[in-house]
Amino acid sequence: MLLKTHFFSLAILTCLLQSCNGQTTSNLSNSTAKGGVVGGPFENGEFMYIGMPENINLVDTSGGWTQKGQKLLITGTIYKIDGKTPAPNVILYYYHTDINGVYAGKQGLDPRVLRHGYIRGWVKSDATGKYAIYTVRPAPYPNRNFEAHIHPSLKEPNIDKEYYIDEFVFDDDKLLTGEKRKKLLNRGGSGILRVFKKNDMQIAEHNIILGLNIPNYPETIKEKKQSGLQIGEDQPSFMPFHAFGPDKGSRACPVCKYGRYHGIVYFVGNNPNWEDIKKWLIFLEEQSVARSKYLKAYFVYGNSNDYSKDKRQKQLERIGVDLNLKNIALTFVPSFSDTESEANLNKINQSVENTFIIYRNRTIFDKFINLNPTEQNFRLLAKELDTNKGDYFDLDLLHDDTEKNVDLHRNH
């Protein structure tokens, strides 16, 4: 027994010294994938098949669940690349450290997967794309400046090889700095988990988008016009000028300050149609009143032609007064390529008439380009808000600073 203990300790130390490279190549970019392999190079990807049960359920309870640590449920939907169509029969393999930050060994563990430790498991999405993992919240590596994380990889039924997606990391982890967030590749969508509280359990709703930012993926997103980030990615922090509305005179970051529930960011660039814009603003105001704290809406004007901060400010102020707006924010940036405000992070196409980004808990779940202000489209957006709440919409975030007048952009 003593010999086994030493053996496991040595394996754990080896993994830590190697920075756990069995999962990902952190600097991999789409351009470095060779040979047409979906996902590109993936060291030790075959580990996911070692010990894999013949029948895999949509719910799994890891071996770490019994540890005396923080109970954690990760649950969500796996979607196809469009971010809307549920993807059934996708195998999600995961492994992570224990409550001490090590990939712990255990009697009976296959020696070939010691680097992954015994806290590992599999789920398979059901007909609606759902999955759920009950585990213990992992700790960061001891004495390392590296955030706690969970390693996931996927095996789709119609793709020969497995591929990895972004590690699951925790939004409230102080080791997850703003600079680290900007470097995330968003493979399969944002890997950032935002944790809710329910009794003694933490819950993270987390959807996965197949093929998103995956090199050599056989399908692509078909859009006539490109504008904005993709469904499944996080709505980025940026600092517009607030000309009218609750934060007038400030540069509050929309998603940082009001990111908890639903958000709509309505971008207009070089081709403003003010008659249509006013119709949309009235609709968004009505929705904001009806939904109260559960919706924050922003108009972001980014026309780069003849830009004057003072003129832009007065122009939006007049519109706010004329329409008697109380709840939505009228904001502006010099252009959508502006780096000082970081509006460029939104990847908005300056030439389209409008881009609507809709997010929940900071993650984009839908977007629309060149959307006309018709009754049909008003119902469309209202339906999106009604049907995309998730099972834990009313729970409190573990660390929620949105009710405090704090601009988290400095940290995020």
Domain limits, the chain: 2-209, 241-410
pLDDT in tens, 110-121: 999 999 999 999
Predicted confidence (pLDDT) per residue in 256-297, tens digit: 888 889 999 999 999 999 999 999 999 999 999 999 999 999
Q: Indicate the pLDDT class of residue 399, thresholds 50, 70 and 90.
A: low
Task: Give burial (CB, 10 Å; 0-12/13-18/19+) of 79.
Answer: buried
**Is residue 8 pLDDT above 90, yes or no?**
no
H or E segment at 209? strand 208-209
Give bridge partners of residue 168 from the DSSP assignment: 150
For 143, phi then psi, to 5°, come to 55, 35
Average pLDDT, the chain: 89
Single out the residue of 265, 243, 273 nearest to residue 367, CA to CA: 265
Taking residues 148-153, report their average pLDDT. Answer: 98
Structure confidence by residue, pLDDT tens digits, 32-70? 444 589 999 999 999 999 999 999 999 999 999 999 999
Asked if the domains at 2-209 and 241-410 fall in one CATH topology, the answer is no
Helix, strand, coil share (%) of the chain residues, nearest 5: 25, 25, 55
Distance separating alpha carbons of residues 80 and 102, to the nearest angstrom? 33
pLDDT at 367 over 80: yes
DSSP code per residue over 293-354: GGEEEEEEE---TT--HHHHHHHHHHHHHHTT--SSEEEE-S-TT-TTTTGGGG---TTSS-
**Element spanning 363, H or E:** strand 363-369
Q: What is the largest CA-CA distance in the chain?
A: 79
Burial classification of residue 70, based on how many CB atoms lie within 10 Å of its CB (0-12 exposed, 13-18 middle, 19 or more buried):
middle
Mean pLDDT of 124-148: 97
pLDDT at 180: 94
Q: What pLDDT score was predicted for residue 257?
A: 82
Gap between the Cα atoms of 222 and 7, Å rounded:
51
Which pLDDT score, from 0 to 100, does residue 400 have? 55
Asked if the model's pLDDT at residue 1 lies above 60, the reply is no
- Which helix (H) or strand (E) segment holds residue 74: the answer is strand 71-79
Fold type of domain 2-209? Protocatechuate 3,4-Dioxygenase, subunit A (2.60.130)
Looking at the DSSP bridge assignments, the partners of residue 407 are none
pLDDT above 90 coverage of the chain, percent: 82
**241-410 is classed CATH 3.40.30.10:** yes
Q: What pLDDT was estimated at residue 394?
A: 87
The pLDDT assigned to 111 comes to: 95
Provide the pLDDT for residue 21.
Answer: 39
As a whole number of angstroms, the distance between CA 75 and CA 134 comes to 9
